[in-house]
Chains A and B, each alone.
Chain A
């Protein structure tokens, strides 16, 4: 029973490019959460999605960042026109229902040159 799968594990982008981070939740999980861990900081909540719906995006920057969780396929966190400050580890978690324990993936380390 595979856990939460995130890819790529490492992503390098130049300033101004787009970054796409993918997250496949655990089997049977329809709730996905994205967190960001900046260097030397704790994890911060970004967005919570169910299939085809954004439930809570209160932690997501208003510009350049977007997230989706389509009916078929993985959840995608998209960062447009990346800047150096976007360098961080991005973690995805999933749960079977709301308020259930979240299971975390190994994260995507994003580096901006």
Chain B
């Protein structure tokens, strides 16, 4: 059974810092991995999707990497801004099924 873990659970940084969020998964037979953003009381916004054959994806100040063999992904946020404050969720889709398995999330607070 796939399990996804995100570290740290919460992070508070001053504006302008570069930061890294970590995601690990137990079963490397994944189809893809996705990073989402969730604002309080809101739904999920997809940030980046990495197929199992890819090593990384970039969008603006965000860069996500995938090391399937070690069961790890990182989300790098450059030059953080207060508007980046949200919960970031990592989700894995296995080869075997259509469901997404989510980590517990990292709550990010960027202080002005």
Contacts and interface: CB of A to CB of B under 8 A. Distances in A.
Interface in A76-113: 91, 93, 95, 98-99, 101-107, 109
B43 A107 contact: yes
A58 B4 CA distance: 18
Contact of B98 (A33, A35, A44, A109): A33
A: interface residue count bin: 20 to 34
A31 interface: yes
B44 interface: yes
Interface in B1-59: 4, 31, 34, 36, 41-44, 46, 49
Nearest to A9: B41
B101 A45 contact: yes
B97 A104 contact: no
Given A101-B46, A105-B43, A45 B99 contact: yes
A59 B100 CA distance: 11
Contacts of A12: none
A43 interface: yes
Given A31-B98, A43-B89, A98-B98, A106 B43 contact: yes
A42 B98 contact: no
A48 B99 contact: yes
B104 interface: yes
Which of B4, B41, B89, B100 has most A Cβ within 10 Å? B100
A42 B41 contact: no
A56 B97 contact: yes
Given A48-B98, A59-B99, A101-B34, A109 B43 contact: no
B47 to A, nearest CB: 12
Interface of B: 4, 31, 34, 36, 41-44, 46, 49, 89, 91, 93, 97-105
